[in-house]
């Protein structure tokens, strides 16, 4: 398989050198050229035909995003990843036709992963970007829109229904005890974690589960922890286990002081007239993206 041909576009030579050295460590990526501004980039794209262009958002004379828009109007076959210092240009980058967005202080392998991902279609959000509130908000809207489109497309009818498919679905069981219910939870995701996996979980929690995501952070030796509360008690473990992108759910001892979460829960449940429930800590194993 031929390496992915990459053009680097950045105003500063030292920045281009650093990017080149970082990418040269990957055998499946080949840096075929460099450009210092948008005008230079337009000429080099025409002669080099790169598969992926890594474009700084801010460039002299012609900005990176203006350059992306011009390339798209000219029928650029390759994909553009915008490189920026923060998430402020993300929405604009998507509007002008970029296919990926990575922040400049991302980990070394993050840009390489984005370069591998953009030729496959969709939009690639850098993992570091997903740690910012602005990045998550834009990304969640993007994936929510694509999920809604996917669900609106009717699935092909099966050729023949099996006996198992024809059988009625079993009725949902009632929780055996109040201990099955949760209003506060820590959801622990082990590395490696793909941004799309985290976004699917966020989307489900905020939508179908009616949850309020209080924070998402990396801790506990590389784990990603999502802290969430719910407007009313739900059978969280069973509902998570039924999700198509979840492979396994295991309960663990709650980290921290469970009474701290209980106080917030008590205030909320007093308004809706239900009992109090100790917060839960659930470790999720997610299915790999196809």
Residue 166 lies in a domain: no
Would residue 140 count as lying in a domain? no
| Domain assignment of residue 158, yes or no | no
Res 259: pLDDT: 45
Within 10 A of 7 (CB to CB), how many other CB atoms are there? 22
Please name the residues in contact with 117: beta carbons below 8 A apart, sequence gap of 6 or more: 100, 124
pLDDT tens column, 6-43: 999 999 999 999 999 999 999 999 999 999 999 999 99
Higher pLDDT among residues 240 and 233, named by residue: 240
- Of how many residues is the chain composed? 290
Q: Within a domain: residue 222?
A: yes
**Is the same domain home to 187 and 279?**
yes
Burial 84-102 (b: 16+ CB within 10 A, else e): beebebbeebbebbbbbbb
Of 9-18, 76-85, 143-152, 212-221, give the range with the top mean pLDDT. 9-18
Claim to verify: residue 29 and residue 128 sit in the same structural domain: yes
**DSSP-derived 3-state class of residue 29:** strand
Q: What is the pLDDT of residue 159?
A: 39
- Say yes or no: 185 and 278 in one domain: yes
Distances (CA, A) of 208 to 38, 200, 258: 44, 11, 25
In a domain, 147, yes or no: no
Angle at 135 between CA 52 and CA 41, to 5 degrees: 25
Distance CA 78, CA 226 (A): 35
Question: Residue 175: is its pLDDT beyond 60?
Answer: no
Q: Which one has a higher pLDDT value, 234 or 253?
A: 253
Q: Are residues 25 and 128 in the same domain?
A: yes
- The residue segments making up the domain with residue 186 are 177-286
- Hey, how many other C-beta atoms are within 10 angstroms of the C-beta on 33? 17
Residues 209 and 123 occupy one common structural domain: no
Last residue of a domain, one of 75, 108, 133: 133
Among candidate residues 49, 41, 200, 19, the one with its CA nearest the CA of residue 114: 19
> Closest Cα partner for 53 from 106, 67, 171, 61?
67
**Residues 96 and 189 placed together within one structural domain of the fold:** no
Structural contact between residues 193 and 286, judged by C-beta atoms closer than 8 angstroms = yes
- Note the pLDDT of residue 156: 46
Determine, yes or no, domain membership for 159: no
pLDDT band at 148; cut points 50, 70, 90 = low
| Whether residue 108 is found in the same domain as residue 182 | no
Q: Is residue 252 part of a domain?
A: yes
Number of domains in the chain: 2
Q: Are residues 186 and 123 in the same domain?
A: no
pLDDT at position 289 is 65
**Residue 65 · residue 48 · CB < 8 Å:** no
Q: Tell me what pLDDT residue 83 has.
A: 95
Q: Model confidence at 217, in pLDDT bands (50, 70, 90)?
A: confident
Verify that 104 and 35 share a domain, yes or no: yes
Whether 165 is in a domain gets the answer no
* Lookup: tokens for 147: 């999920």
Q: Quick one: pLDDT at residue 146?
A: 55
> CATH number, domain at 33?
3.40.50.2300
Concatenating the DSSP letter of every residue in 192-203 gives: S--HHHHHHHHH
Domain boundary among 133, 163, 188: 133
User: Is the domain of 20 the same as that of 128?
Assistant: yes
Q: Check: pTM over 0.75? Answer yes or no.
A: no
Q: Are residues 182 and 272 in the same domain?
A: yes
Where is average pLDDT lowest: 39-48, 64-73, 148-157, 210-219? 148-157
Tell me what the mean pLDDT of segment 146-171 comes to: 44
Using DSSP bridges, classify how beta strands 29-35 and 4-9 pair: parallel, antiparallel or unpaired: parallel
Domain stops at, among 113, 133, 153: 133
Mean confidence (pLDDT) of the chain: 78
- Please tell me whether residues 13 and 116 are part of one structural domain: yes
């Amino acid at each position: 398989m031929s390496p992915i041909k990459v053009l680097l576009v950045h105003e500063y030579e030292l920045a281009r050198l650093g990017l080149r050295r970082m990418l040269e460590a990957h055998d499946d990526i080949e840096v075929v050229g460099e450009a210092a501004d948008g005008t230079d980039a337009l000429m080099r794209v025409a002669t080099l035909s790169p598969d992926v262009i890594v474009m700084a958002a801010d460039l002299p004379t012609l900005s990176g995003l203006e350059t992306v828009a011009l390339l798209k109007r000219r029928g650029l076959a390759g994909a553009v990843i915008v490189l920026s210092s923060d998430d402020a240009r993300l929405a604009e980058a998507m509007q002008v036709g970029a296919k990926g967005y990575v922040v400049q202080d991302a980990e070394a392998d993050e840009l390489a992963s984005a370069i591998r991902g953009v030729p496959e279609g969709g939009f690639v959000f850098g993992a570091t970007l997903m740690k910012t509130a602005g990045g998550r908000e834009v990304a969640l809207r993007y994936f929510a829109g694509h999920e809604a489109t996917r669900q609106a497309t009717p699935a092909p009818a099966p050729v023949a229904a099996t006996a198992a498919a024809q059988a009625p679905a079993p009725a949902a069981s009632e929780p055996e005890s109040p201990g099955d219910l949760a209003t506060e939870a820590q959801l622990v995701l082990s590395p490696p974690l793909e941004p799309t996996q985290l976004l699917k979980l966020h989307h489900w929690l905020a939508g179908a589960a009616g949850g309020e995501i209080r924070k998402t952070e990396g801790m506990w030796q590389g784990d990603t922890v999502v802290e969430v509360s719910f407007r009313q008690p739900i059978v969280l473990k069973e509902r998570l286990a039924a999700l198509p992108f979840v492979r396994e759910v295991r309960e663990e001892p709650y980290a921290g002081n469970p009474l701290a979460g209980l106080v917030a829960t008590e205030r909320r449940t007093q308004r809706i007239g239900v009992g109090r429930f100790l917060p839960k800590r659930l470790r999720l194993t997610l299915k790999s993206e196809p």
